[in-house]
Structure formats: C-alpha cells, structure tokens
A and B are shown apart, each in its own frame.
Chain A
Amino acid sequence: MSIEIRHVTKRFGDFTAVDDVSLEVASGSLTALLGPSGSGKSTLLRIVAGLEFPDCGEVLLSGRDATGLAPQKREVGFVFQHYAAFKHMTVRDNVAFGLRVRKRPKAEIAARVDELLTLVGLQAYAKRYPAQLSGGQRQRMALARALAPKPRVLLLDEPFGALDARVRAELRDWLRRLHEEVHVTTVFVTHDQEEAMEVADRVAVLNEGRLEQVASPLELYDEPASEFVMRFVGDAHRIGGRLVRPYEIALEREPDDGAVEVEVERIRVLGAEARIDLVDGSGAPLVARLRRDELEQLGLERGEILWARPERALAATAARP
C-alpha cells in the first residue's frame, strides 16, 4: 500500500513539530525517516498511524483519504521504541491480540501465530511473559504482533533505539531480510544515519519539522541537497569555504592550491583505517580518514603541521541560506 503525505503540519502549543511536509512512500518500499531528536520524524510516523491527527494537510493510504480515520481502521502495524508489550499476556497472546480483536476463527489464529513465532524465532518462548524476555526478544515479539493481522503498512518508531549495539546490528539485518521476505510497505524512524543508510532503500531527512531531502542512501551521501543533510549524513568539514567528506581530504607536507594549514592533534588507528583529528588556523576541528598504509607512508606525528586539500568537494547546491 502506498502512503501519500500532503502538506501536513502539526503543532503542539507554540512548537511546530511537523511543518508543511509532503512525502510519497511507494508501495512495497522500505523507507527511513531520518533526523535529529525534535525533527518531527516520530510525530510524522504517528500521524500516518492515526495516533496523532494533523492540524492541516492530508494523509492518503492507497490513494484514499485517511486523514481523520481512527488508528484501528487503518490496517497499519506499529512498533514502538519501548516495545509497548502487553505485560499481562504471554508472548503467544501478545501476537494473537490483533487477530482476537478481529474475531478470527481460533484455528486460523493458532496457525498464524505459530507462523509468526517461527518467523521471529520465538517458538520456544511462546508461553513466557514479556518480563522474561531480553530487549531484542521483546522487540521481535512486538514485530510479530504488528505483522500478525497482515497490515498493509508497517511503521516502526526508533525500533532499535533501546537496544545495545550488537543486538541492534542483528535486528537491522533481520529487518532488511524480513522486508525482502514479506514485502510490506515499511517506514521506520531513526536518528542514526548509519542505520538509515544500511537498512532503507529510500531515506527522508527531516530537520526542525521540515523535509530536507528524499533520496536513495547513495544519492543522499553524494548529492546532499543542503548543508544540513551533508553534515547529518556522514561527517562533513569545511575547508576553504568548501564542504568535504573525511575520506576526501588529502594530507600533504607541501602547500598546494586550495589547501589549508592544519595541525595534527591526535591519530587513532581503528583497524584497517585511521582517523586523524586536525585543527585549522582558526581552531576549527577537522577529521581526515586514511587507510593504514597511507598513514604509514606519510609517517604522521602529533603536533605536525600539514596541508589539507579537498580532493572532491560536495556540491551542496540547493543549500539554503
């Protein structure tokens, strides 16, 4: 099912959470809403789910107006950051909930729940209560619960935000694979650009309630539409008035055209690559990334004065003033 958001605005008192956002999500796609906290991404997701109602603008699901439709009539699955597990129900009853309130036949419910518990790998935990599960298991249960009634859209609000780094990486992969299997239109909210780039096939970047750019991860990285996007999606630094990615800074011992003088503040070797913290003449920090062999070849040392030259500046063309 496709989602169409048209000129949606939502205010909470004086605060404008979502400011005239229009966005189309194609049927079957996997889209990330990316932005810092307070950028309106969660509010936008909740508006799509019917958990909030916009002050103006429209939400269309499958081309039909759903702006004022109650959440239970939208056929969406929603996954909350803190799981929102039904604490007084077993895992099995949690997953069955959406089918029970729809009064499906018992045999059908049992079959569907078994199918989903297998899908999320929780068959052995069916009789446990949420309090007896780990965070990752709870979130997988929440996913199974959201998918059980066969929603036409799956919405996830910072689904991995409360989990530790390793479980988060696992679940990311898992969500990606799940999407390939189930193919339900999926939108997830995240403040983690790496997560958005890794999982989604389209990323919508939000800032202060406004939509900055909607693009594929690659486009977003290579052709950011604004300075905000460029700085938010991967690091970016300003050298001589131009914005540059850390991988595209060449460090040289001799002055060159367009190069600026920098001092090496710190060198950190992170496995196959190294991160060089630099400061320019004005004291602004700058980060360059080199491969190990490049670093060894240069023989850099702390406190050394170098020349940093942007190899390829990003065209932050549509940058707003």
Chain B
Amino acid sequence: MRSPKLLRHAWAVASKDLLVEFRSRTAILSAAVFVVLVLVVFNFGRDPTAVSNVDLAPSILWVTFTFAAILALNRAFQLELENQSLDGLLLAPIERSSIYLGKLIANLVFVALFFNVPVLPYLVPLMALIALATVGFVAVGTLFSAMTVRTRFAELLLPVLLLPFMIPPLSWAVLATGRLLAGRPLSEIVGWLNMLAVYDIVFVTLAIFLFPATVNE
C-alpha cells in the first residue's frame, strides 16, 4: 500500500540528512555553541537574588529552544540547494510528501538531540511536552523553510514567517513547563497538552498536503 512506502521513503530522506550531519557536524557544533552562549547571556542578564532558578528555567529552556530550532530549520533546505541536489531529490521516484516527512523527521532529530539532553531527562511529562510543542512548530517551519530558501532574504524571512505559528504552541508549552517544574499535579497541564496535540495534528496534516506546492515547478 501507499503509506508504508511513504514512510520508508521518508526515512530514507531523513537518514540521508542525518548521515550528512553526523559526518560534517556543522549544525550540532554551531547549535551547541549557541546554547552555551544563550545560557551565559541569561546568567548575566538576571538578578539571582530576585529571580529564582525554577522561575527562570522555563523561559531559558524555551528561548534557547526557539532560536536554536530556527537555526536548524534554516539549514534543512539550504543543504539541498547547493549543487542543485533538491532537483535530484525531486526527480527521484518518490512521493513529494515523503520528502517532506523525511525532512520533518531529520529536523526533529536535530532539534531534539541538542536540547533534550540538559533537561532533567527523568521527567517523562516534560519530554512529552517538548515533543508535542516541537512537532507543531517544526512541522510548519520545515514547510516554510522549503519556500524561504529560494527567496531573497532567506535567513531573515523564515523567523518572520514562523513566529506567529511558533508562539502559540510555545506559549502553552512555557505555561505547562512552569507548572510542571513547580511540582504541580499533572492534571493541571492536561489541557495544554490537548491543545498542543490538536495544533500538531492540524499543522502536520496541512503541511503534508501543502508541501508539494512549494517544490513543484
């Protein structure tokens, strides 16, 4: 049937991207340096006697996350434009949606790899929260980066386009993270998690349908 093939092709695209990354390590290194920089800046930008760590943690987490994700997303299709390899990818006998899914998976792995590590890995709900919020905006971001790489000011345009789509899941995630880190019961954040899930479903579906329109000639 169609869907297993779709996923297999998507996986092929994703593993290609991940292999390129693990061989060259440009994105991982630059994002790691970026995270360290943000943490350092935050350290000096706050008054430790006035704001406690727990209060600040959600904002540091999500600010770092957002900007590093934008960095990673910008790269997704930039890579393919060099040597016109996007044309090669488009000529391959696979569905356009599977290229999108592949890119989505690769981007998710990038974003997840960098930032799940410092975040208290023993908290399962926090992981679920990060996963849900990330899927939403990376889905839209992957779609948009396919468009913006071929425009005039790609690096600037992607954040501008993405921001309105990024902040809703982000704001829910920040609120929920705060509650979670403050040790509130899980039932308090189920509403946010549901919202994030709805957002993810809507925009992943939408992006799968719209992606062909961004690459077809």
- A and B co-occur in one complex: no
